[in-house]
């Protein structure tokens, strides 16, 4: 009998702890703003991207090259040029400067053909996603786009307690109603993502 009372007491303590934790989880962050994309946003190149370099009237210097893990590219006559963190136009002007030693008034066009983006701008999905992963950011990308890419949520997810950690705003955190969006089709729960966002999907307690 004494052992049973002890076990019941431990169970009560454990249950109380769960209630407290559940109460903490229910204290939501402010709702994520529906519109978050920056109209001035310009894609910047990151490691893993592929860039197509076209040098006017010099086809032997034109080619597609990958951006190395150190963020640099190598092309004929141009070695170890930093590409990471630049947009396509800026990289084109830098290649032109490098080629001026060998070609008179070079004209270079850079086209990004494979997109990964810099690490600081990638979208990360963690927790109870079907396939937690890292995604390249795209202008006007929404939470729905992200959830489609990761295959939705697991059966253990508490989607309406999900949150967005916004690194671009000093790690400010916002709530997002993923269950309403995915299971009820409530489009008002869909919100835009920003570069560097982390989408956190917690596990349901019950």
Which DSSP category does 99 fall into? H
Q: How far apart are CA 41 and CA 50, in angstroms?
A: 20
**Tens-place pLDDT, residues 145-165:** 999 999 999 999 999 999 999
CATH of range 122-201; options 1.10.230.10, 3.30.499.10, 3.90.1640.30, 3.10.560.10: 3.10.560.10
Q: How confident is the model at residue 76 (pLDDT cuts 50, 70, 90)?
A: very high
Contact in structure between 203 and 157 (CB atoms under 8 Å): yes
What ranges do the domains of the chain cover?
49-114, 122-201
Per-residue pLDDT tens for 34-52?
A: 999 888 899 999 999 999 9
Residue 38, Cβ neighbours under 10 Å: how many? 11
Between 113 and 24, the higher pLDDT residue: 113
Per the CB < 8 A criterion, the answer to whether 192 and 142 are in contact is yes
The CATH number of the domain covering residues in 49-114: 3.30.1950.10
- Strands ordered across the beta sheet of 63-66: 63-66, 50-55, 108-114
pTM here? 0.81
- Looking from the CA of 77 toward its CB, the CA atoms found within 13 Å total 18
Residue 97 has pLDDT above 70, yes or no: yes
């Amino acid at each position: 009998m004494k052992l049973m009372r002890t076990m019941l007491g431990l169970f009560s303590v454990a249950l109380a702890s769960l209630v407290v934790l559940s109460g903490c989880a229910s204290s939501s962050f402010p709702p994520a703003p529906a519109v978050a994309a920056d109209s001035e946003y310009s894609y910047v190149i990151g490691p893993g991207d592929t860039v197509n370099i076209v040098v006017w009237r010099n086809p032997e210097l034109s080619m597609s090259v990958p951006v190395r893990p150190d963020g640099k590219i190598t092309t004929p006559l141009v070695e170890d040029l930093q590409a990471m963190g630049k947009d396509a136009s800026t990289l084109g002007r830098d290649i032109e400067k490098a080629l001026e030693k060998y070609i008179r008034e070079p004209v270079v066009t850079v086209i990004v053909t494979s997109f990964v983006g810099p690490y600081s701008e990638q979208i990360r999905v963690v927790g109870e996603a079907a396939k937690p992963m890292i995604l390249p950011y795209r202008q006007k990308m929404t939470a729905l786009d992200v959830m489609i890419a990761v295959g939705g949520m697991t059966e253990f997810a508490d989607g309406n307690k999900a949150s967005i950690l916004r690194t671009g705003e000093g790690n400010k955190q916002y709530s997002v109603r993923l269950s309403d969006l995915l299971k009820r089709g409530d489009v008002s729960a869909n919100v835009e993502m920003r570069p560097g966002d982390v989408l956190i999907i917690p596990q349901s307690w019950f």
